[in-house]
C-alpha cells in the first residue's frame, strides 16, 4: 500500500491528533457543591475549562477521527503497490484501414499479450486498453480511418509510465502492416522518446495486394482545356485516376483506380445547384493549392458528404470534391469549374491540383508499405527500455479513494446524529437538574 499524495494523509493525522487533544480539553460546568462562604469566591462564568483524564464522548471522538482520517486517506489516493516483474510489454495494435487481415493481427496480439501487459489500440488516435485486454483484443473493431503511429507512440509512453512500477524493463511491440500513410514527420522524433528497441510484428496489410499503377487518363471532348492539364499531370507521381468529363460514370468501371467524374457543364455526382452562384478565390486538394477565381455553381449537401471523404475543399472550407469508395476502387465527384479561357489549365499549381485529385483512392493509399529505412528507424536498436526511462504517472486512479470518501461521508453523517442525540441528552439532563454537562 502506498499513497500517491501522502501529504494529505499526514495532514489528516495531524488534524486527527488535534481532534483527540481537543476532546481531552473540555468545557464543562463543574460538580456542584454547597459552601456557605461562596460569596467570597470571585464571580466568574460558571463554565470552566478542564483537562479530562479520558474523553467521556468516546464515540463522538472516534467518529470525528474516522471522518478526518478517511477523508485524508481518500485525498492521499492510496494504491496497492503491485509486485514488480522483470519485463512487461506495451503492445501497439493497429486497427486502422491499413490492416487487411484483422484476424491475423488479433492472433498476433493475443499471442504476444501476457497478463499485466499494456495494449494500445490505434488508428488515427490511440487509446490504452484498461483492465483485462484479452476481451478487448478479441473484439477489437477495425476502422476505415488512417492509422497514426505517432499518436500510438505517445500513448505507448503513457502506458510505459503505468507499467514502470510493475517491471524493470519494458518492451515495445508494434503489431501493424506499417503502411506508409501511418508514418508522418513526427514519428521519428516521437519514437526517439522511447529509450529502447521495439519489436515490430508485421502483419499482412492491404498493400500486399497492390498491383501496378496506371497513368492518368481523361475522357473528354476535343476542345476541353482540362486535357492539357491532364497531360501535364501524368508526369507527376500518384496521378493514376481516370477523369470523365462528360456522360455518366459507372462505379463498376472504377476497378482499383480512382474514377473522377468532373463534368464540364453537367451536375457533378451528389452535387446540387446553388441558389446563388458566387465566386471563390481558391481551392485545395492535398498539398496542392490553386489561387484563382472560380465561379461556384454546385455545392454538396450534408447528406452527400456522409459516407464520403472530402478530397478537395474551397478555401472557405466547403467541399469541392468528394470520394466515395467502391468495391474495388473509388469514384470522385469534382465540382470545380474549369474556365475555357485563361492560363489556369497550364499553371503548375493547377496541374498539381489535378494530379492530387487523380491520385490513388484512400484505400489504396493505405495499402502502400512504408519504406524499409523508416521501418528500421521505428525498430530502433539497443536493449529494452528501463523503467527509469518513464516518468511516474500523475493520473493513476486510486480504487480505494471513492470508498474512503464514502466512509468519511457516512461517518460525518453518523457524527451529526450522535452529536444531536448527545445535545438532546445534555438538555434533558440539565432540565433534570443534573449538574454536570459536557459542552465540548
Partner 1 sequence: MARWKDGRESRAARFEEPDYAALLDSVRGIRWPARSAVRGGIPGAHTSRMRGSSAEFTEYRPYRQGDDLRRIDWKLFARSDRAYIRLSNDRAILPTTIVLDASASMAFPLPSLGKWSLAAQAAIGLAAVARNSADPVGLVIARASEIVQIPPRTRQSVINEMVRAISETNPSGDHPITPAIDAAARMSGRIVLITDFLGDSEDLLASASRAVVAGKEIHALHVLAPEEIDPPRETVLVSDPERTDIRRPLTPEARDSYLAAFSAWRERTAHDWSESGVLYSVAIVGDEAPDHLVRRIAAPRGVAATA
Task: Determine the interface stretch with partner 1 among 42-50, 142-150, 246-254, 304-312 (rule: CB under 8 A).
Answer: 42-50
Closest distance to partner 1 from the beta carbon of 426 (Å): 16
Strands 198-202 and 167-176: parallel
Does the footprint of partner 1 cover residue 56 (CB under 8 A)? Answer: no
The burial class, CB within 10 Å (0-12 / 13-18 / 19+), for 163 is: buried
Q: Does 44 bind partner 1 (CB under 8 A)?
A: yes
Q: What is the CA radius of gyration of the chain?
A: 37
Query: Rounded to the nearest whole angstrom, what is the least distance from the CB of residue 61 to partner 1 in the complex?
Result: 22
Contact residues for 424 (Cβ-Cβ < 8 A; gap 6+): none
Cβ at position 8, least distance to partner 1 in Å? 40
* DSSP-derived pairing of the beta strands 25-29 and 437-438: antiparallel
**43, 275, 279, 373: which one contacts partner 1 (CB under 8 A)?**
43
* The residue count for the chain: 440
- Residue closer to partner 1, measured from CB, 38 or 248: 38
Cell 453518523, located at residue = 414
Of 17, 21, 48, 424, the one binding partner 1 (CB under 8 A) is 48
Question: CA angle 87-92-97, nearest 5°?
Answer: 165
- Nearer Cβ to partner 1, position 41 or 276? 41
Q: How far apart are CA 370 and CA 146, in angstroms?
A: 14
Q: Shortest gap between Cβ of 49 and partner 1 (angstroms)? A: 9
Helices 226-233 and 348-357, packing angle to 10 deg? 80
- Please select the residue that binds partner 1; options are 18, 21, 25, 50, rule is CB under 8 A: 50
Single out the segment in contact with partner 1 by CB under 8 A; choices: 27-35, 131-139, 140-148, 229-237. Answer: 27-35
Query: Which among 191, 104, 177 has a CA at the least distance from the CA of 370?
Result: 177
Query: According to the binding rule CB under 8 A, does residue 46 interact with partner 1?
Result: yes
- Which of these ranges, 43-51, 105-113, 187-195, 246-254, lies near partner 1 under the rule CB under 8 A? 43-51
Q: Does 439 bind partner 1 (CB under 8 A)?
A: no
Q: Which residues bind partner 1 (CB under 8 A)?
A: 29-48, 50, 435
Amino acid at each position: 500500500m502506498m499513497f500517491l499524495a501522502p501529504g494529505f494523509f499526514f495532514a489528516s493525522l495531524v488534524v486527527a491528533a488535534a481532534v483527540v487533544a481537543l476532546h481531552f480539553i473540555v468545557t464543562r460546568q463543574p460538580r456542584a457543591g454547597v459552601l456557605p462562604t461562596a460569596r467570597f469566591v470571585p464571580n466568574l462564568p460558571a463554565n470552566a475549562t478542564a483537562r479530562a483524564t479520558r474523553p467521556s464522548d468516546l464515540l463522538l471522538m472516534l467518529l470525528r477521527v474516522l471522518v478526518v482520517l478517511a477523508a485524508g486517506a481518500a485525498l492521499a489516493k492510496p494504491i496497492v503497490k503491485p509486485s514488480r516483474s522483470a519485463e512487461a510489454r506495451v503492445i501497439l495494435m493497429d486497427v486502422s484501414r491499413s490492416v487487411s487481415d484483422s484476424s491475423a493481427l488479433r492472433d498476433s496480439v493475443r499471442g504476444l499479450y501476457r497478463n499485466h501487459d499494456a495494449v494500445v489500440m490505434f488508428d488515427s488516435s490511440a487509446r490504452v486498453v484498461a483492465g483485462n485486454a484479452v476481451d478487448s483484443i478479441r473484439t477489437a473493431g477495425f476502422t476505415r480511418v488512417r492509422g497514426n503511429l505517432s499518436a500510438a507512440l505517445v500513448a505507448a509512453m503513457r502506458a510505459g509510465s503505468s507499467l514502470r512500477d510493475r517491471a524493470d524493463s519494458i518492451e515495445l511491440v508494434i503489431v501493424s502492416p506499417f503502411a506508409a500513410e501511418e508514418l508522418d514527420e513526427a514519428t521519428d522524433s516521437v519514437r526517439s522518446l522511447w529509450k529502447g528497441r521495439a519489436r515490430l510484428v508485421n502483419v499482412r496489410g492491404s498493400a500486399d495486394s497492390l498491383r501496378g499503377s496506371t497513368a492518368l487518363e481523361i475522357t473528354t471532348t476535343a476542345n476541353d482545356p482540362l486535357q492539357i492539364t491532364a497531360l501535364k499531370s501524368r508526369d507527376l507521381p500518384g496521378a493514376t485516376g481516370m477523369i470523365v468529363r462528360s456522360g455518366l460514370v459507372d462505379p463498376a468501371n472504377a476497378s482499383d483506380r480512382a474514377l473522377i467524374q468532373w463534368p464540364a457543364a453537367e451536375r457533378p455526382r451528389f452535387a446540387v445547384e446553388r441558389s446563388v452562384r458566387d465566386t471563390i478565390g481558391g481551392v485545395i486538394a492535398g498539398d496542392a493549392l490553386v489561387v484563382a477565381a472560380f465561379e461556384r455553381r454546385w455545392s454538396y449537401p450534408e447528406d452527400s458528404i456522409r459516407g464520403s471523404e472530402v478530397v478537395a475543399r474551397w478555401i472557405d472550407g466547403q467541399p469541392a470534391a468528394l470520394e466515395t469508395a467502391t468495391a474495388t476502387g473509388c469514384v470522385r465527384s469534382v465540382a470545380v469549374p474549369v474556365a475555357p479561357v485563361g492560363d489556369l489549365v497550364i499553371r503548375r499549381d493547377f496541374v498539381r491540383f489535378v494530379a492530387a485529385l487523380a491520385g490513388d483512392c484512400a484505400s489504396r493509399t493505405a495499402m502502400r508499405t512504408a519504406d524499409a529505412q523508416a521501418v528500421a528507424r521505428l525498430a530502433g536498436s539497443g536493449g529494452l527500455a528501463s523503467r527509469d526511462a518513464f516518468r511516474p504517472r500523475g493520473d493513476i486512479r486510486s480504487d480505494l479513494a471513492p470508498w474512503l470518501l464514502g466512509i468519511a461521508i457516512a461517518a460525518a453523517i453518523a457524527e451529526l446524529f450522535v452529536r444531536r442525540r448527545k445535545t438532546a441528552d445534555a438538555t434533558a439532563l440539565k432540565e433534570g437538574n443534573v449538574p454536570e454537562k459536557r459542552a465540548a
